[in-house]
Structure 1
Amino acid sequence: MFGEKYVQRTPKSKKLFEEARKYLPGGVSYAIRFFEPYPFYVSRAEGRKVWDIDGNAYTDYWMGHGALLMGHRYPPVIEAIKDQLNLLPHVGFSHEWEVKLAKQIVEMVESIELVRFTNSGTEAAMYSIRLARAYTGKRLIGKFEGGWHGGYDALHIAVSPPYKLPGSLGITEGALKDTVILPYNDLDGVREIVKGLELAAIIVEPVLGAGGFIPSDPEFLKGLRELCDE
C-alpha cells in the first residue's frame, strides 16, 4: 500500500510489527488494521491528529471507528472520564448512567423506542437478526452486496467481489443458507429477488462502508421501508 518512503520514515513501527507477529495473528488485534507492508503504531493523539512511535503526524479520518466525534482528548470528555473513574469505573450491575444514556438516545432519534447496549457491531447485528426472526417467525434475512455488518457468520458474505462467496474461511454453507444477497441501490432488483420469499428482515447500511463508501439513494431507502412494511 505504501512505498519505500513510508518504510524509511517508520523503522520503529516496522520493528514493533515484527515483534507483534510473534503474539498476534497477522501481527494485529483486528484484521482491518493491517495494510502493506505493515501498520504504523500510534503513541499519542490530540484533536484531529495522531502521532506514531517514529514521531510522524497523521490527520485521523478514522476517529476510533467513528466514536470520537469531538476528536482526540477533547478536554470536557477527559474531565468527565476522570470524574467517573473516581466513582465507578466498571461494574457488572445496573447503574443510573445506562438509563440516562438510553433515554437520551430515544429522545434524539425518532425511530428508536427501546435501547439494548452491546459490546460490538457484530453482537448488535446478531441480536437484531435473532429478534427479527423471533418476532416474525420467519428465517430468511436480506443482506446487500458490499455491506459489512461485523463478524456474524450469517452476514459475513458478499462483503467484497465475488459477492457469492463468504467473507472468510471457516464459514459453513449452513450458516449462510438463510441469507439472501441483494443488489444495493437497485430497488427493482431487490423486489424481483424477494418476490415470493418470506423475509424476517432486511439489513442495510445507509452508506456502504467496506463496499466503497457508496451512499444510498434516498428513494432507495424509502422504497425498502415500504417494501418491508408490505
Structure 2
Amino acid sequence: MTTRSTTATPPTALSPVRRLLSFLLTAGVLALGLTLGLVAVPPMAAAETYSAPLAQAVEDLSGASEVRTGYSRDLFPHWVDDDGDGCDTRREVLISEADDPVSVGSGCALSGGRWFSYYDRVSWTNQADVDIDHMVPLAEAWDSGARSWTTTTRRAYANDLGDARSLVGVTDSVNQAKGDQDPAQWLPQYDRCRYLREWVAVKHRWRLSVDSGERSALRSLASGCSSMTVTVTRAR
C-alpha cells in the first residue's frame, strides 16, 4: 500500500518582475473600482461645528478654576511661517486685515496698507502702530486648559489663521492695556458685543474653560447683546 505524503509544498516565490506586475494589476483594478464607484471609500470625518445663541454659548463653556503655575510665553511658539511663503503669522494677519492694499516685497517686507482697530475705532497706516492681539491671550489660554496641551497644539493656537476671530490687529497701546485680562477685567471702548462674541467663539474653538468670575461677566454682557449667535469650527 502506498502512503501519500501530507507535507505541503511551499509556494514558489514570485520574481521581482512578477511582483511588480501583480502590484500594478491590483492597483489598476482598485483605480477602476474607485472610478466606477464599485469600491467604497470611508468618508473623511467632518470638522465639528458648534453653533448656539450667544447666551447659550456662554452657558455651554466648561467651568474650571484657572491655574497660572508654570506659564511662560515661550511655551507658545508664535509668529511662525507654517506655510513657508516667507511671511510669518503677524504679517499674514496684517495682509488679510488691511483695508487698503498691501504690497509684499522681498522677505515679506510690507508697504502701503491701512488697518482699522475696532477696539478704539482708530485707523493706522504705519504697521508698527498695530499689534496682533490673541483674542484670548496666551496666558489666559494657559490658565483655561492649554497647560495640558502639547507644544504642537500650543503652537497651532498661537498662530491660528483658521478663524479670523483668533487673531486681530489693534492699536498697540490698547493691546498692551488689555494684557492677559479676561472680559471680567478688561473690555474695549467700543463694539463690546462683537468682542464678547469673538471671545466666546475662540474659547469654544479651542475648548477652553471659564472660571466663575469670567462666566458671570460673560452672562451679564451677553444679556445686552441680543440676537447674536456664535458659530465656530472646533480646532481640537
User: TM range, normalised to the smaller chain?
Assistant: under 0.3
Structure 2 length normalisation: TM-score?
0.26
Q: TM-score, normalised by structure 1?
A: 0.26
Larger Rg computed on CA atoms:
2
